[in-house]
């Protein structure tokens, strides 16, 4: 077999890439990583918009590493972006991964060379290296949807994207600001921007459900306790559906009296954030259970927002709660009680164009100094496509995914040997704690590569049958979900017949880890080696 420059080429230096470089170098592999940004952090490098925070509690949104964990502590339950970025820098420095990473370098192509069992990887800096294994740590929510509004090129103010917030100072104090998009990013940015802007006008297309994070200082006692038993904690969260310790559904809604239902809703509300996703065990599948939770959140909107017209527009009614990712905010609805915050419903009053001065809708012509686009991502496939990975037939992985992603364990896809998709479609991915997802995937890959090294294998890809079975299992797990029928970045809609594929594995991280453990214990059954 031909030689390689590197055993593993890692794409991306966010949490997944940092851990992949650390783990694989520890395994004695020669590793190089490429990262488009000038520093580590991935989405936490780019998403530096005001108000950006994580929505998984910080006890668990970090590496479950016995050496690292006790040396760090967080200030808040849901830390803001600067603290998370500082943490990822701390991890990168502690593990000494930087010398392995080429920053400000995008991967422009990765060609599988079938005779040599390696990828030739080319980059924006003109570099060309070969690697036995290609590890995509490029994230599932990293390739932003670019704004495509007519007239943007003539706009004389400044425009920015939450997903790629500039590193230079973006002046917001005293400015007239438009925010387009009210997903997780938009609802976090609005109250933060409204603090010192002259005016913030929010352009909402769909009213989303947003629940308060109930953020606050970290319970340092709890953190210290976890720091003293990291290995145990790691096992516990790997065996939890979301990779954390949030309470699971208390039981089917119908098993509680109306008073008990309301008490449970209040209790979960007080705890905050994604706990509202699992008040009742059947709220994701039963519309009556779901409506109980949705009504509770809708009532909060009506109780909070003083202007009844604004409250009405903000009230989410078009889909069941949790069937798109629940937004978690700090003061979103409250912001609309400020005199400097306005709302435009773009379904009733569509954006016609960006003008040199601002935004023209059907009914308004508004001037802005700054337009903030919070339009979301080309989820699951955007960053993968961008790397321009080609197999021996010149295909990209997504060329074979016309009817939705086909993977084994969300980690590999047939026809693309030695290519690993960290947190890929078919794994729990965005439904669980993404740092833990990455750690679990990298550990699995490290075990797989060790297995191969011990046997002298240099090529691995999923067996067709195993991939078919896993893809069918992922679909089956999602078959009774309310969210399968809702427009949503997690759902792939087949062009030919309109049928739908839910991309992440919804049965829970715990179940997924058990499946991975079973495969590993069975000598990686389902993977074909040569």
Enumerate binding residues for ligand NAP (CB under 6 A): 53-55, 141, 180-186, 188, 203, 205-206, 325, 328, 346, 374-377, 430, 489
Q: How far is the CB of 81 from ligand NAP (least distance, A)?
A: 9
Q: Count Cβ atoms below 10 Å from residue 283 Cβ, excluding itself.
A: 26
Closest CA to 274 of 283, 262, 285: 283
| Beta carbon of residue 498, minimum distance to ligand NAP (angstroms, whole number) | 18
Q: For residue 475, which of 446, 443, 520, 507 has the smallest C-alpha distance?
A: 507
Nearer to ligand NAP, 32 or 509 (CB): 509
* Shortest Cβ 151–ligand NAP spacing (Å): 13
According to DSSP H, which parts of 127-257 are helical? Answer: 184-194, 220-227, 230-238
Is 143 or 268 the residue whose CB approaches ligand NAP more closely?
143
Inter-residue contact 372 to 193 (CB < 8 Å): yes
Taking the least distance from each CB to ligand NAP, the nearer of 165 and 416 is 165
Q: Is the dihedral of CA 29, 510, 525, 381 positive or negative?
A: negative
Residue, CB closest to ligand NAP: 183
Q: What is the smallest separation between the CB atom of 156 and ligand NAP, expressed in angstroms?
A: 21
CA angle 437, 440, 441 (to 5 degrees): 85
Pick the closest to residue 273 from 13, 59, 496 (CA basis): 59
Cα–Cα distance measured from residue 25 to residue 21, given in angstroms and rounded to the nearest whole number: 6
Q: Evaluate whether 110 touches 389 at the Cβ level (below 8 Å).
A: yes
Strand partners, 500: 493
Q: With the C-alpha atoms ordered 515, 401, 243, 333, is the resulting torsion angle positive or negative?
A: negative
- The minimum distance between CB 386 and ligand NAP, in angstroms, equals 17
Whose Cβ is closer to ligand NAP: residue 184's or residue 381's? 184
> Which residue number, 62 or 519, has a Cβ lying nearer to ligand NAP?
62
**Min dist. Cβ of residue 374 to ligand NAP (A):** 5
Instruction: Return the number of the residue (164 or 268) whose C-beta is nearest ligand NAP.
Output: 164
Minimum distance from residue 318 beta carbon to ligand NAP (Å): 9
The CA angle 460-143-501, to the nearest 5 degrees, is 65
Residue 365 half-sphere exposure toward CB, CA atoms < 13 A: 3
How would you classify the pairing of strands 118-123 and 107-113?
antiparallel
Closest to 252 measured CA to CA, from 216, 282, 213, 219: 282
* Smallest gap from residue 42 Cβ to ligand NAP (A): 12
> Which residue, 413, 384, 408, is CA-closest to 474?
408
Residue 371 Cβ, how far from ligand NAP at the closest point, in Å?
12
For residue 85, give the H/E element and its range. helix 81-95
Residue whose CB is less far from ligand NAP, 275 or 391: 275
- Cβ proximity to ligand NAP, 380 vs 416, nearer residue: 380
Residue 88: name the closest of 12, 9, 18 by CA.
18
Q: CA-CA distance, 334 to 395, in Å (whole number)?
A: 49
Task: Tell me the CA end-to-end span of the chain in Å, nearest whole number.
Answer: 11
Residues 461 and 414: beta-carbon distance below 8 Å: yes
Shortest distance, position 357 Cβ to ligand NAP, whole Å: 19
What is the nearest approach in angstroms of ligand NAP to the Cβ of residue 183? 2
* Residue 5 CB-half CA count within 13 A: 14
Which CB sits closer to ligand NAP, 54 or 279? 54
Task: Give whichever of 388 and 488 is closer to ligand NAP, judged by the CB atom.
Answer: 488
User: Which C-beta is closer to ligand NAP: that of 183 or that of 415?
Assistant: 183
- Bridging pattern class, strands 365-367 and 358-361: antiparallel
């Amino acid at each position: 077999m031909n030689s390689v420059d590197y055993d593993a080429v890692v794409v991306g230096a966010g949490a997944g890439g940092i851990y992949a470089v650390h783990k694989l170098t520890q395994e004695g592999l020669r590793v190089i990583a490429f990262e488009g940004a000038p520093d580590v952090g991935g989405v936490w490098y780019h998403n530096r918009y005001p108000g950006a925070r994580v929505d998984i509690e910080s006890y668990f949104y970090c590496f479950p590493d016995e050496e690292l964990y006790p040396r760090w502590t967080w200030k808040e339950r849901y830390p803001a972006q600067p603290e998370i970025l500082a943490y990822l820098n701390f991890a990168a420095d502690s593990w000494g991964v930087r010398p392995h990473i080429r920053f400000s370098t995008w991967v422009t192509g990765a060609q599988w060379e079938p005779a040599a069992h390696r990828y030739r990887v080319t980059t924006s800096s003109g570099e060309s290296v070969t690697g036995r294994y290609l590890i995509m740590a490029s994230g599932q929510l990293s390739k932003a949807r670019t704004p495509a509004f007519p007239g943007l090129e003539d706009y004389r103010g400044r425009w920015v994207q939450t997903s790629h917030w500039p590193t230079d100072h973006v002046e917001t104090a005293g400015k007239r600001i438009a925010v387009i998009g009210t997903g997780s990013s938009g609802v976090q940015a609005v109250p933060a921007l409204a603090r010192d802007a002259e005016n913030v006008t929010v352009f909402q297309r769909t009213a989303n459900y947003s629940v308060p994070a109930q953020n606050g200082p970290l319970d340092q006692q709890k953190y210290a306790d976890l720091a003293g038993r990291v290995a145990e904690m790691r096992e516990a969260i790997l065996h939890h559906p979301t990779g954390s310790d949030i309470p699971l559904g208390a039981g089917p809604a119908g098993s509680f009296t109306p008073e008990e239902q309301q008490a449970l809703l209040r209790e979960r509300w007080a705890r905050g954030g994604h706990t509202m996703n699992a008040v009742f065990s059947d709220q994701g599948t039963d519309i009556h259970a779901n409506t109980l939770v949705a009504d509770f959140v809708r009532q909060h909107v009506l109780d909070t927002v003083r202007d009844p017209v604004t409250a009405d527009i903000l009230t989410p009614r078009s889909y069941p709660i949790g069937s798109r990712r629940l937004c978690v905010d700090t003061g979103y609805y409250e912001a609309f009680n400020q005199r400097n915050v306005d709302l435009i419903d773009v379904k009733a009053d569509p954006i016609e164009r960006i003008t040199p001065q601002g935004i023209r809708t059907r009914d308004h012509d508004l001037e802005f100094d700054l337009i903030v686009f919070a339009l979301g991502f080309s989820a699951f496939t955007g960053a993968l496509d961008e790397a321009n990975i080609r197999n021996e037939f010149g295909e990209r992985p997504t060329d074979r995914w016309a009817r939705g992603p086909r993977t084994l364990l969300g980690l590999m896809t047939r026809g693309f040997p030695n290519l690993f998709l960290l947190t890929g479609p078919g794994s729990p991915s965005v439904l669980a704690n993404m740092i833990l997802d990455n750690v679990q995937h990298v550990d699995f890959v490290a075990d797989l590569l060790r297995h191969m090294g011990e046997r002298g294998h240099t090529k691995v890809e999923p067996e067709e049958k195993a991939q078919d079975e896993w893809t069918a299992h992922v679909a089956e797990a999602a078959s009774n979900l309310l969210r399968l029928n809702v427009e949503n970045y997690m759902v792939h809609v087949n062009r030919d017949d309109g049928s739908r594929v839910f991309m992440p594995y919804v049965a829970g991280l715990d179940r997924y880890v058990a499946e991975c453990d079973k495969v590993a214990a069975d000598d990686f059954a389902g993977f074909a080696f040569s």
